[in-house]
Amino acid sequence: MKKSYYFFIILSIIVCLFLCSFSLSFSESIPAAEENYKQGEELINQGKYEEAITYFEKAVEIDPNYINAYFNIGRCKNNLNKKDAAIKAYKKVISLNPKYAEAYSNLGDVYRTLKRYEEALQMLNKAIELKPDYAYPYYNLGLISADQGDFPKAIIYYKKAIKYKPDHKWSYYYLGDALDDISIELYEEAVEAYLKAINIDPKYGDAYNGLGYAYRKLGEYDKAIEAIGKAIQLYPNFYYYYYCLGETYKDKKLYPEAINNYKKAIQNNPEYKYSHFSLGYSLDQSKLYEEAIAAYKEAIRIDKNFTVAYFNLGLNYKRLERYDEAITTLEEAIKLNPKYTNAYYNLSLIYYNLGNKEAAMKEYEIVKQLNANLALELLPLISK
């Protein structure tokens, strides 16, 4: 009996010591996890995502239930374009806390970027269910609606996002973008949206460029040039702003200025086909046909299926009376678009100029089937 008593006392002491040791170890581990987490947060703020992940992973190694560390691993992985790893991290967060609205929202955003829209919608709607006044899921629902061409619905979502986060510059920017895509009647409202985005962030280059686009469509070219010029001042190496400035000068029929900006766009990104195409058009209008031919050829090099580039190239060959090349090029346009009426129209004129009236009439008959009014215009030209 006495031995049993002593055994119980000794066992109790051992258990007590173990529990004290475990408690001390656990209490020490919490600050260690938090310290790693804070280091990771600082690195996120510096844009050092790979380094940040190292610290967040140390935090969850110390504390496997550290939800915010998993959440930030998801953010970092997404910013590094490691989408599968981001999905895994956000799912871990949700498994630890099924009511974490921000995790559903961010997971929905990852699915959106992967065009996995059904899954994205499920996650974003769940985020709204948990937190109805959270702006970001509405913003992402707007982006999905815009991706799917439903701009009226996108506008509704962007406005909801703005309601809950009035300083969210991206919601204003994409609101302007969606308004631009509906009709000219909404361009004034688009201007207001872009200006609000700029008011929030005066260094928001895309907002200045969007503002320039809206002004351009309203025919306010000087304001457009000024707005896009500000975007270029902020980001002087971004090709697209030069392209948009070129488009504005082109609409204003200031072709030398347009040509200059398209060339700057190409200098900063030689693989953007539309810069080459618009350069070709502006050279056309300046009667610099040989240079225009070179520009259209570059556009076609980038995109072998660029139908209108083949057509415009064919027209330039026709202007220079290089008829064989014109025929070959226009036929390429027709292969890509068998209902390209203007290509048949110009082929008919070329064959007539070559003295091949039979071939000219054959092309005329096709024009007649596709566009009777255009055929009426063509017939006198090939019947002289």
Which DSSP string do the residues of 22-41 spell out, in sequence order? HHHHHHHHHHHHHHHHHHHH
The answer to whether residue 5 scores a pLDDT higher than 90 is no
Confidence at residue 145, expressed as pLDDT on a 0 to 100 scale = 97
Nearest to 209 by CA among 194, 188, 199: 194
The answer to whether residue 19 scores a pLDDT higher than 80 is no
Q: How confident is the model at residue 309 (pLDDT cuts 50, 70, 90)?
A: very high
The answer to whether residue 14 scores a pLDDT higher than 90 is no
Q: Could you read off the pLDDT of 254-288 as tens digits, one per residue?
A: 999 999 999 999 999 999 999 999 999 999 999 99
Q: Could you read off the pLDDT of 313-327 as tens digits, one per residue?
A: 999 999 999 999 999
Nearest to 126 by CA among 94, 153, 104, 147: 104
Q: Could you read off the pLDDT of 115-133 as tens digits, one per residue?
A: 999 999 999 999 999 999 9
Q: How confident is the model at residue 29 (pLDDT cuts 50, 70, 90)?
A: low
Nearest to 197 by CA among 176, 218, 221, 224: 176
Q: Could you read off the pLDDT of 232-259 as tens digits, one per residue?
A: 999 999 999 999 999 999 999 999 999 9
Which DSSP string do the residues of 189-208 spell out, in sequence order? HHHHHHHHHHHH-TT-HHHH
To which residue do tokens 């915010």 refer? 68
The answer to whether residue 20 scores a pLDDT higher than 50 is no
Q: Could you read off the pLDDT of 43-68 as tens digits, one per residue?
A: 999 999 999 999 999 999 999 999 99
Tokens of 239: 């090709």
Q: Which amino acid is at 125?
A: N
Least confidently predicted of 35-49, 75-89, 228-242:
35-49
The answer to whether residue 9 scores a pLDDT higher than 90 is no
Q: How confident is the model at residue 81 (pLDDT cuts 50, 70, 90)?
A: very high
Domains contained in the chain, CATH given: 167-236 (1.25.40.10), 237-303 (1.25.40.10), 305-384 (1.25.40.10)
Which DSSP string do the residues of 303-328 spell out, in sequence order? -TT-HHHHHHHHHHHHHTT-HHHHHH
Question: 107-115, long-range: CB within 8 Å, 24+ apart, which pairs?
Answer: 107/74, 108/137, 108/140, 109/78, 109/136, 109/140, 110/74, 110/78, 110/83, 110/86, 111/87, 112/140, 112/143, 112/144, 112/147, 113/83, 114/83, 115/147
Q: What is the mean pLDDT of residues 363-374?
A: 96
3-state SS assignment for residue 340? coil
Confidence at residue 115, expressed as pLDDT on a 0 to 100 scale = 96
